[in-house]
């Protein structure tokens, strides 16, 4: 999600966050060696989590290469409400754009991905969920690996999360989450809101007035049911963002066996031989972004954690991919893998904006440089006020009515998986149109959670600095357009509840249309991305010729190469995917410990926390 820049952000300055890092290097010449046990490409959500787990074994020497910059001292990253200013068009973003979208009136829009320590966990909107049980169970079925089923994956929640209760503002959280579902001894801190918005009570009151929108006490996905309206759970604590960087840089700051090198962009992987018909890729070429290239080697494995866009780009530049994509560029095909860069899935996001009573929303504050400056100063000194909070406090998850499918196979993972989401924001939030100079607004963002459209990612040249061609191919199936249209109708029904009487005064743009055609026009013209790309290097069973990786995350046709990020998911989860990105890394650590131990029965439990 993205909105127009906040005027007072011009006054945002660096702020010391007070966290120490492991061995963070900025220059390749500082590396003490060029050989490591593991080389992890990408210090993002999954990459830093995996590095932290593996480095618990002090006999292992691990290098993490991050193309971006440090997140330390970056105020816009750490202040939760300022998340919309982190991307796009900043140095913390890869600054991708999509190719003209056939299903969206051939529009081009930004496609944000975090380019800094923590990756997109340092640039996203912090909403934290795990998805329904159905999502994980379907992955286990598709891959033939029961280890991906929820009854196995749930145990990783215990070491992953620490639910902070009470939250920073000490408000009463009774009925706002289910305590027994959560962990209080993990690493990543998660909290409820710390600043109440004036729409919160109206949202909750609507659940009492409209049976269509029941209240759900906990929408984390840890339980079986994600459906209903509930309070957002976010990766933030004490008024500041929590990311894989803020979490694991603290944990590993005494581990000399873990080195993180920033400003190190991987250009390709080098083939290191063949064994039993498999091609080895245990050498990594990278650049400092200037003129010089460097090489490092992994004695055990290279692990790609560069995300659903970056991982594909590196694979293709290395000669791993579809010959139809590589041959025209003159790249020798070392491993024929036709599914690399295919199967791109994402959640289309559509802003539905209502006008409200003058002064009722936050728009007047966001337009005022003086009020924003005061709010930011309050956050700097006290970590309180709305800057200490996420931009959203409430979310809703819903399925279409049973007759809606009309004989079509349901693309959802199961009957407890939602088809769409409503996100409630008390100001104008529109990725396509800037906030008007006057007026007060309420936005219900709707997101399609079960898309059937499939897109692609492919490089356009052999130059690693050229952005790949990203084609989400959104809204190109009847199902996708129809369900997004239904989500708009649901948003309008929600806003028509008595709870909104005296507040909402009208609709903006084509949201006022009463015809399907008009709402479809609204979707095609105004939808973009919630930036949840997945599945571009998707997992399949060991025997399947489809897919890019095996159930153990090894790249098919290779040895010494694994992928650990959201690109491996066969299907996009029907939730915000930050939680799954963390859990994938947790299981990957177990898989690696098991494979590379001399004798799994003799593994030191100090190092194998979850085996």
CATH at 401: 3.30.560.10
Residue 154 included in any domain:
yes
Which active-site residues does the annotation give? 532, 576
The least confident of 38-47, 135-144, 284-293 is: 284-293
User: Which tens digits make up the pLDDT trace of 171-204?
Assistant: 999 999 999 999 999 999 999 999 999 999 999 9
Task: Tell me what pLDDT residue 281 has.
Answer: 99
Q: Is the pLDDT confidence value at 607 over 70? A: no
First CA to last CA distance, the chain = 37
Whether the Cβ atoms of residue 239 and residue 379 lie closer than 8 Å to each other: yes
Residue 89 included in any domain:
no
User: How does the average pLDDT of the chain come out, rounded?
Assistant: 93
Binding site per annotation, positions for FAD: 45-46, 120, 124-127, 266, 577-578
Whether the Cβ atoms of residue 195 and residue 386 lie closer than 8 Å to each other: yes
Task: Tell me what pLDDT residue 528 has.
Answer: 97
Residue 277 included in any domain:
yes
Q: Is the pLDDT confidence value at 414 over 50? A: yes
Task: Tell me what pLDDT residue 23 has.
Answer: 78
| Half-sphere exposure at residue 123, Cβ-oriented, CA atoms within 13 angstroms | 32
Binding site per annotation, positions: 45-46, 120, 124-127, 266, 577-578
441, 384: one domain: yes
337, 357: one domain: no
Residue 515 included in any domain:
yes
User: Which tens digits make up the pLDDT trace of 110-134?
Assistant: 999 999 999 999 999 999 999 999 9
- Confidence tier at 8 by pLDDT (50, 70, 90): very low
Q: Is the pLDDT confidence value at 15 over 50? A: no
Residue 7 included in any domain:
no
Q: Is the pLDDT confidence value at 20 over 70? A: no
- Confidence tier at 290 by pLDDT (50, 70, 90): confident
Task: Tell me what pLDDT residue 22 has.
Answer: 55
Q: Is the pLDDT confidence value at 324 over 60? A: yes
309, 218: one domain: no
156-182 per-residue burial string, b: 16 or more CB within 10 A, e: under 16: bbbbbbbbbeebbbeeebeebbeeeeb
User: Which tens digits make up the pLDDT trace of 454-466?
Assistant: 999 999 999 999 9
Phi-psi region of 360 (alpha: psi -120 to 50; beta: other; left: phi over 0): alpha
434, 298: one domain: no
405, 514: one domain: yes
DSSP 534: B
Number of domains comprising the chain? 2
User: Which tens digits make up the pLDDT trace of 141-175?
Assistant: 999 999 999 999 999 999 999 999 888 889 999 99
Task: Tell me what pLDDT residue 342 has.
Answer: 99
Task: Tell me what pLDDT residue 28 has.
Answer: 96
Whether the Cβ atoms of residue 558 and residue 543 lie closer than 8 Å to each other: no
Question: Of residues 496 and 598, which shows the higher confidence score?
Answer: 496
The CATH number assigned to the domain holding 552 equals: 3.50.50.60
Gap between the Cα atoms of 47 and 69, Å rounded: 15
328, 380: one domain: no
Residue 468 included in any domain:
no
Whether the Cβ atoms of residue 46 and residue 566 lie closer than 8 Å to each other: yes
Q: Is the pLDDT confidence value at 608 over 80? A: no
> Which residues on adjacent β-strands are paired with residue 399?
none
Whether the Cβ atoms of residue 255 and residue 61 lie closer than 8 Å to each other: no
Q: Is the pLDDT confidence value at 600 over 70? A: no
464-493 per-residue burial string, b: 16 or more CB within 10 A, e: under 16: beebbbbbbbbbbbebbbbbbbbbbebbbe
Share of the chain above pLDDT 90, in %: 88
Gap between the Cα atoms of 442 and 99, Å rounded: 30
- Confidence tier at 48 by pLDDT (50, 70, 90): very high
- Confidence tier at 405 by pLDDT (50, 70, 90): confident
444, 522: one domain: yes
Whether the Cβ atoms of residue 247 and residue 164 lie closer than 8 Å to each other: no
SS3 65: strand
Residue 8 included in any domain:
no
Q: Is the pLDDT confidence value at 536 over 50? A: yes
262, 225: one domain: no
User: Which tens digits make up the pLDDT trace of 431-475?
Assistant: 888 999 999 999 999 999 999 999 999 999 999 999 999 999 999
Gap between the Cα atoms of 593 and 443, Å rounded: 47
Residue 152 included in any domain:
yes
Domain of 181?
127-241+348-450+475-526
Query: Element (H or E) spanning 33, and its range?
Result: none
Gap between the Cα atoms of 435 and 481, Å rounded: 26
Angle between helices 578-596 and 45-54 (to 10 degrees): 30
- Positions of E strands within 191-332: 228-231, 236-237, 240-241, 258-261, 265-270, 273-275, 278-280, 283-287, 293-304, 320-321
């Amino acid at each position: 999600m993205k909105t127009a820049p906040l005027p007072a952000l011009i006054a945002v300055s660096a702020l010391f966050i007070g966290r120490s890092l492991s061995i963070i290097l900025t220059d390749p010449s500082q590396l003490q060696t060029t050989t490591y046990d593991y080389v992890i490409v990408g210090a993002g959500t999954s990459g830093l989590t995996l590095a932290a787990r593996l480095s618990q074994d002090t006999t292992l020497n691990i290098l993490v290469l991050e193309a971006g910059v440090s997140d330390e001292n970056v105020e816009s990253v750490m202040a939760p409400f300022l998340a919309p200013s982190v991307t796009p068009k900043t140095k913390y973003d890869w600054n991708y754009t999509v190719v003209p979208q056939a299903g969206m009136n051939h529009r081009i829009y930004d496609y944000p991905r975090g380019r800094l320590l923590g990756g997109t966990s340092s640039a996203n909107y912090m909403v934290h969920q795990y998805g329904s049980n159905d999502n994980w169970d379907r992955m286990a079925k598709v891959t033939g690996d029961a280890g991906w089923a929820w009854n196995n994956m749930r145990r990783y929640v215990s070491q992953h999360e620490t639910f902070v209760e009470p939250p920073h503002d000490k408000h009463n959280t009774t009925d706002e989450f289910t305590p027994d579902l959560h962990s209080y001894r993990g690493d990543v801190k998660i909290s409820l809101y710390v600043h109440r918005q004036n729409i919160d009570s109206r949202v909750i009151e609507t659940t009492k007035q409209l049976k269509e929108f029941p209240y759900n006490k906990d929408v984390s996905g840890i339980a079986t049911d994600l459906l209903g309206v509930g309070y957002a759970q976010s990766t933030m604590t004490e008024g500041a963002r929590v990311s894989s960087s803020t979490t694991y840089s603290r944990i590993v700051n005494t581990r000399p066996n873990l080195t993180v090198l920033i400003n190190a962009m991987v250009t390709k992987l080098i083939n290191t031989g063949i064994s039993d018909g498999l091609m080895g890729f245990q050498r990594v070429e990278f650049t400092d972004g200037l003129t010089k290239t460097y090489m490092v080697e992994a004695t055990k494995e290279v692990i790609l954690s560069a995300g659903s866009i970056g991982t594909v780009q590196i694979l293709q530049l290395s000669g791993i991919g579809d010959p139809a994509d590589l041959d025209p560029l003159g790249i020798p095909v070392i491993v024929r893998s036709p599914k690399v860069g295919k199967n791109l899935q994402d959640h289309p996001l559509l802003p539905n904006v209502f006008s409200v009573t003058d002064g009722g929303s936050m728009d007047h504050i966001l337009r005022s440089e003086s009020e924003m400056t005061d709010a930011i100063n309050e956050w700097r000194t006290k970590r309180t006020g709305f800057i200490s909070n996420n931009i959203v406090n409430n979310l809703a998850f819903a399925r279409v009515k049973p007759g809606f499918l009309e004989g079509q196979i349901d693309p959802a993972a199961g009957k407890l998986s939602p088809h769409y989401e409503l996100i409630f924001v008390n100001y104008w939030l529109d990725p396509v149109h800037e906030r008007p100079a006057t007026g007060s607004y309420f936005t219900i963002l709707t997101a399609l959670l079960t898309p059937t459209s499939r897109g692609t990612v492919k490089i356009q040249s052999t130059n690693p600095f050229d952005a790949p061609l990203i084609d989400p191919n959104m809204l190109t199936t009847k199902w996708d357009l129809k369900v997004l249209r239904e989500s708009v109708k649901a948003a309008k029904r929600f806003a028509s509840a008595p709870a909104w009487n005296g507040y909402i005064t009208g609709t903006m743009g084509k949201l006022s249309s009463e015809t399907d055609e008009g709402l479809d026009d609204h979707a095609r013209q105004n939808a973009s991305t919630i930036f949840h790309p997945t599945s571009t290097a998707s997992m399949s069973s060991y025997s399947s010729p489809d897919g890019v990786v095996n159930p153990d995350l090894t790249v098919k046709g290779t040895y010494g190469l694994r992928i650990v990020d959201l690109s491996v998911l066969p299907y996009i989860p029907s939730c915000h995917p930050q939680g799954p990105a963390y859990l994938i890394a947790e299981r990957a650590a177990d898989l690696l410990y098991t494979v590379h131990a001399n004798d799994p029965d003799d593994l030191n439990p100090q190092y194998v926390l979850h085996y």
